[in-house]
Amino acid sequence: MNFLAHIYLSGDDELIRIGNFMADGIKGSQYKNFPTDIQIGILLHREIDTFTDSHPIVRQSTKRLHPNYSHYSSVIVDILYDHFLARNWTRYSDTPLSVFVDDFYDSLTNNGELLTSRIKHLTPYMIADNWLLSYAKIEGIQRVLNGMNRRTNHKSGMHTATYELKLYYTEFETEFTEFFEELRAFSNNKLHQLQQQYYPSP
């Protein structure tokens, strides 16, 4: 899953959200260098990624893209799924998406000393262009894919994937909706387990 889904699946604790958000740049046991709730977020992120990568519905979405994008297909599906989460946000949250993302941006700004150097560099651009809110529109997804294509030195061709998004919009949305219900249940359970592990009941 991409940024918005990882943040959403972290519950209400802002440090767990931050840990989940920045987990990709934290390798191996480096997570132990962070405060407990950020550790929980990092470990939750890893569990979500493992669940997602092995799920047959996600593989079905990925297979549709594979002829044109090869091993970049899974990255594209992560981004497309964030689009459907943002577009259908009111199905999953009573908090307006604009409020949710502004609160998260505030969390990043207020906890700058806990962020990795990569996230410190990324955050101003993310806030200025309001990445998380922009996912709700295809134009926003196009900007994300353009940026990802540049980061692969234009080798991935990811900037063209909005063609498949539009062509197979119903199929992708149906797959996302079915998968995300399972992912929400999995993540809630895993988050509870991690919190119990770090904060055992007396």
pLDDT tens for each residue of 114-138:
999 999 999 999 999 999 999 999 9
Classify residue 168 by burial, with Cβ atoms within 10 Å: 0-12, 13-18, 19+: middle
* Nearest-angstrom CA–CA distance, 62 and 71: 9
Q: How far apart are CA 191 and CA 82, in angstroms?
A: 20
Residues lower than pLDDT 70 in the chain: none
Summarised one tens digit per residue, pLDDT across range 71-104 is 999 999 999 999 999 999 999 999 999 999 999 9
Return the number of other C-beta atoms located less than 10 Å from residue 12's C-beta: 6
Tokens coding 103: 């609160």
Global pTM reads 0.95
The number of C-alpha atoms within 13 Å of 194 and in the hemisphere containing its C-beta is: 23
Q: Which residues of 94-105 are buried (b: 16+ CB within 10 A; e: fewer)?
A: eeebeebbeebb
